[in-house]
Chains A and B, each alone.
Chain A
Amino acid sequence: MPDLFPLIAFGFGNLLMLGWLAAAAAPILIHLWNKRRYREVSWAAVEFLLSAMRKNSRRLRIEQWLLLLVRTLIVTLLVIAVAQPFLEQVGLNFVPGQRTLKVLVIDGSYSMGYQATDKNRFDRAKQLATQIVEESSQGDAFTLILMASPPSVIVGSPAVEQHDFLQEIDNLKLLHGGGDLPATLVEVEQVLKSAEHAGLPRKEVYFLTDLARNSWVPELKDAEADDYHQRLARLAHETPLVVVEPGQAGTENLAITSLAANEPFATTAREATFSGQVRNFGTQPRNHHLVEFHVDGRRVKEAYVDVPAGEQAPISFSYRFEAPGDHAVEFRLAPDSLDIDNHRWLSVPVKDHLRVLCVNGKPAAGVMSGAADYVALALNPDADNPNAPSIVEPEIIPESALLERDLARYDCIFLCNVAQFTSNEARVLEGVLKRGGGLVFFLGDQVLADRYNRELTGEHGVRVLPARLKELVAEPQYHYNFDPLSYSHPLLSAFQGREQSGLLSTPVYKYFRLALVPGSKARVALAFDGGDPAIVEEPIHQGRSILFATEGSLSSLDPVSKTPWTTMPTWPSFVPIVQETLALAVRGQMTEHNVSVGQPLGESLPAMASRPAVKVTTPAGGHEEVRTTLDAQDSRWSFADTQQSGMYHVELGAPVSRDESFAVNVDTSESDLTKVPAEELPKEFTAHQRTNLDETDSPSITRRSGLHKNLLYCVLGLLFVEVFLAWRFGHATR
């Protein structure tokens, strides 16, 4: 942005008052009138009078003109002062006006952490804010807003005590989020409104910001954009909006924009792979840049990447965890000017193996004749191989035992051909979802659709099923095949390009027609060729529920043709589809522990006799106690202060007695340091750049300087001059 030169514009607040300038003729008229209005006296000593006049006529004329000039000036200046003249000016401190409310808005987005010299942009912004306060006139008041997402009003009511206010500025901490300009303007308007009756006739709003494009060119929908522009116009009408840049230009920046585990869950049994992207937001290519891989704070691997300008490069590391529990995985870039986005964390819940409960709704005595047998086999096909490590540990129970089990111990529950659920069972299943677990429903001939719909689809307040069950669909001598819907759903991504896997040729003879609830987040992952949904999934609470429209075993037979509902369990595609279903179902556990800056941390805990103490340790090392809230079924804790990125460690006290890790990462859209040029800023803002903090003038001030006070001082001075001259010239009353 080019330097903006000081501009000075002159104007009047009350132009009509200038009509009174005609009154400036009054002293002249009075003088002329006085000359006509005289009294007469007879006078003996005329000779001396004539002599005095002869000798002093020139001096008398000059004195008369001088007095007339002063008197005319007094009237003229008085009229101009009443017309409220002002100087509108950028870049210099000019005439101090009346008491001013200065609203200081400091950009708290993490791009302000850019540090090319000894101080980062945020510290310089604080220093400029301090300077503005210190150079203010006696009687000025201040408010302070941190432009973040969401913005926070630090000092809302006008503060006059400079020392305390400066302390507030000093205490400001840079956050790791973005800057929400529209929301900040709402706060500014609110602050100005609440200060309306504080006796501060002048107002100035200062934005101390790096003008990062991400914050200053907000992406708004139509209604929001209208609202934003109208508010901006309203504010600009009321007060000058000054944008002050703290300097430290620079756009070169590397950031890790993503980090994810390739596998849906990690176990100690096998290596886990983590992939991420390194993006170069700058204009120079960055070659051979170091990327470190840290696990639980310990560097375990490193690699080098080449990232062209404006491009991104993938990076991945593999690692086998040795112990179960939550582990912190971090990708870390070598330091650059903006360090906040050089880190990205992932909280990985590592287990010895996944515990899956398979509820058998149709027990049978024969081998592989139960409703859950095929599913259990597909979950752990290598169960009989002692050399293959067991990743999934399925356990089959009859439906009657569902309430006897502690479902919190299981990562996923497969419900196979279960006839119906009681309200209690429905609530227990909901608890699984709240804890981030997965529910997978296979239907079958035992299923009572009405009971499913009544207990599980929200009619009684509990919703764990992603779709309602309709009528059974079956046609004699006809089977249905699957339509992968272009493999667009992640559940089927493994099948893409593997048409030989048999998924498309899997015959289905009978199924429940499923109806998605309008407005829900449910998605059809797989459909029948007739268009009916075959697999529907929906994230519910922190977990995920997946519903198969047909049977997961061969136990359901058509009463007429004696053919099973489907032969899918014997098809080669069954194992991968069950495995993928499990992966999708338990993904919630991982996502629950990985959030963005500003999002709350928290989880549901199973109902228990006493509420556990929850202690959160922040990345900065601070400890905070969190209260758990109790609802009908279970308790929940939540921690909202996640404005710093990094790993948050949570200690859950007795009776849970567990440690957990949560990763909080930045939204890397703020890593783009491209600045909005002054000409692209809305015209309501006046921008000013400060490159040198030692400049003596107050930073970037566009203000209307009221001149009337000074003019009134001039009038007062001239009145004294008039009195003196009149006395000196003999016009004063003696």
Chain B
Amino acid sequence: MASNLKYLDPRTLAKLQGLELRARSIVEGYVSGVHRSPYHGFSIEFAEHREYSQGDDLRFVDWKVFGKTDKFYLKQYEEETNLVSYMLVDTSESMRYQSADAPMSKLDYAQCVAASLSYLILQQQDSVGLVTFDNEIRSLVRASSNPSHLKQLLHVMESARPARKTQTGPIFHDLAERLKRRGLVLILSDLFDDVPSMLAGLKHFRHRRHEVILFHVLDPAELEFPFRQTTLFRGMEELPDVLTDPPALRRAYLDEFGKFLQAVRKGCRAQNVDYLLLRTDQSLEIALSSYLASRMNRVK
């Protein structure tokens, strides 16, 4: 078990070649690491009640029925395969950033998360689609529940070439219009874009009755600004170069960055969007467990 768990650590994961291997390692490692099975109760639709027998999980006892009848009944759910998930992976230039202390770039991290979630979703016979984007949609893979679909997803992800600016707002609007079927939208991005525009995009998703989980992928250096000596910061995404003494500017930068995070969080909360900050040096368990928790909430 312990040997599998280590694949949740991005440092170990970085040593593995190929997204598939990474995704499998993550999911298997995670699944065998938790006590309760992720295969329970993934359906949304209620099927029937079954009488409680010894050994059944007490979590599924219907207490309302017990209150009325004084008998233990378990809720039984109908296995559904019509849950559609869409992975929206930002492949703009800024996602390429990887600081010296980080085990992998933001894009690598986002791809790992997307791949492992896709793998997990497909394992449950749900369908999953993929969109990569920067200032426009670079690729769009339709949702499918076919286990072989994973390979296509991984291929698309691996072939992404980050070089452009991000423009989340128009992309989200566009996607909200395009993704007709109501489902779960998983966004993986650093969100280095105009925040109100991005939030407007999210709002559009919500308007279309999509569930949205926003994975905010950031490098630890972007959160801590640990530079000490005079540094020339070469701007990505066509932004200008900046020569400065980082220690003198650190506090001001962190203030600015904190305001940005605050605005994003606030916006997400307002749209009822699940927001999750992912550091590229953090274990991927956080991403997986928060996804699963979100799913569980929906089940209830």
**Chain B positions within 8 Å of A401 at CB level:** none
A34 to B233, CA, bound (A): 16
Is A388 positioned at the interface, with any CB of B under 8 Å from its CB?
A: no
* Chain B residue at smallest Cβ distance from A67: B248
Identify the stretch in A45-53, A165-173, A556-564 within 8 Å (CB) of chain B at 4 or more residues.
A45-53
**Chain B positions within 8 Å of A52 at CB level:** 249, 252-253, 255-256
Is B242 positioned at the interface, with any CB of A under 8 Å from its CB?
A: yes
For A35, give its contact among B222, B230, B248, B257 (CB under 8 Å): B230
Of B190, B255, B256, chain A has the most CB atoms within 10 Å of the CB of B256
Are A46 and B236 interface neighbours, CB within 8 A?
yes
In the complex with contacts A43-B97, A51-B256, A730-B247 CB distance below 8 A: yes
**Chain A positions within 8 Å of B260 at CB level:** 48
* Chain A residue at smallest Cβ distance from B99: A41
Of A34, A39, A41, A55, chain B has the most CB atoms within 10 Å of the CB of A41
In the complex with contacts A50-B240, A64-B248, A730-B250, A45-B257 CB distance below 8 A: yes
Is A367 positioned at the interface, with any CB of B under 8 Å from its CB?
A: no
Are B190 and A44 interface neighbours, CB within 8 A?
yes
Question: Which residues of A15-44 are within 8 A (CB) of B?
Answer: 34-35, 37-44
A43 to B98, CA, bound (A): 9
For B232, give its contact among A38, A64, A733 (CB under 8 Å): A38
* Chain A residue at smallest Cβ distance from B255: A52
**Chain A positions within 8 Å of B230 at CB level:** 34-35, 37-39
Is A729 positioned at the interface, with any CB of B under 8 Å from its CB?
A: yes
Is B294 positioned at the interface, with any CB of A under 8 Å from its CB?
A: no
> Residues 227-269 of chain B: 1 if any A CB is under 8 Å from the residue's CB, otherwise 0?
1111111111101101111011111110111001000000000
For B240, give its contact among A35, A46, A64 (CB under 8 Å): A46
**Chain A positions within 8 Å of B228 at CB level:** 733
A34 to B228, CA, bound (A): 12
A731 to B251, CA, bound (A): 11
**Chain B positions within 8 Å of A45 at CB level:** 94, 192, 222, 253, 257
Give the total number of A-B pairs whose CB atoms are below 8 A apart. Answer: 103
A49 to B236, CA, bound (A): 12
**Chain A positions within 8 Å of B96 at CB level:** 42
A52 to B246, CA, bound (A): 11
For B253, give its contact among A34, A38, A48, A63 (CB under 8 Å): A48
Are A39 and B251 interface neighbours, CB within 8 A?
no
Q: Shortest Cβ distance from B230 into chain A, in angstroms?
A: 4
Chain A residue total in the interface (Cβ 8 A): 30
Are A729 and B248 interface neighbours, CB within 8 A?
yes
Q: Shortest Cβ distance from B163 into chain A, in angstroms?
A: 13
* Chain B residue at smallest Cβ distance from A50: B242
Is A607 positioned at the interface, with any CB of B under 8 Å from its CB?
A: no
Are B255 and A46 interface neighbours, CB within 8 A?
no
Question: Which residues of B202-230 are within 8 A (CB) of A?
Answer: 219, 222, 227-230
A313 to B79, CA, bound (A): 147
Question: Which residues of B43-60 are within 8 A (CB) of A?
Answer: none
Are B239 and A41 interface neighbours, CB within 8 A?
no
For A40, give its contact among B97, B231, B247, B249 (CB under 8 Å): B231
A733 to B249, CA, bound (A): 14
**Chain A positions within 8 Å of B236 at CB level:** 42-44, 46
**Chain A positions within 8 Å of B251 at CB level:** 730
**Chain B positions within 8 Å of A657 at CB level:** none
A147 to B250, CA, bound (A): 74
For B229, give its contact among A39, A44, A46 (CB under 8 Å): A39
Q: Shortest Cβ distance from B256 into chain A, in angstroms?
A: 4
A43 to B93, CA, bound (A): 10
Is A60 positioned at the interface, with any CB of B under 8 Å from its CB?
A: yes
For B243, give its contact among A38, A55, A63 (CB under 8 Å): A38
A40 to B231, CA, bound (A): 6
A468 to B221, CA, bound (A): 121
Are B252 and A56 interface neighbours, CB within 8 A?
yes
* Chain B residue at smallest Cβ distance from A729: B248
Are B222 and A731 interface neighbours, CB within 8 A?
no
Are B256 and A48 interface neighbours, CB within 8 A?
yes
**Chain A positions within 8 Å of B242 at CB level:** 43, 46, 49-50, 53
Q: Could you write out 8 A-B pairs with CB less than 8 Å apart?
A: A34-B245, A38-B229, A39-B230, A42-B236, A44-B190, A49-B242, A52-B253, A734-B247
Known: A44-B93, A44-B97, A731-B247. 13 other contacts (CB 8 A): A40-B231, A40-B234, A41-B227, A41-B231, A42-B96, A42-B234, A43-B234, A45-B94, A47-B239, A48-B253, A52-B252, A53-B252, A729-B247
B residues whose Cβ falls under 8 Å from a Cβ of A: 93-97, 99, 106, 190, 192, 219, 222, 227-237, 239-240, 242-245, 247-253, 255-257, 260
What are the nearest 9 A-B pairs in CB distance?
A52-B252, A44-B94, A43-B233, A38-B230, A46-B239, A46-B235, A44-B97, A48-B256, A52-B253
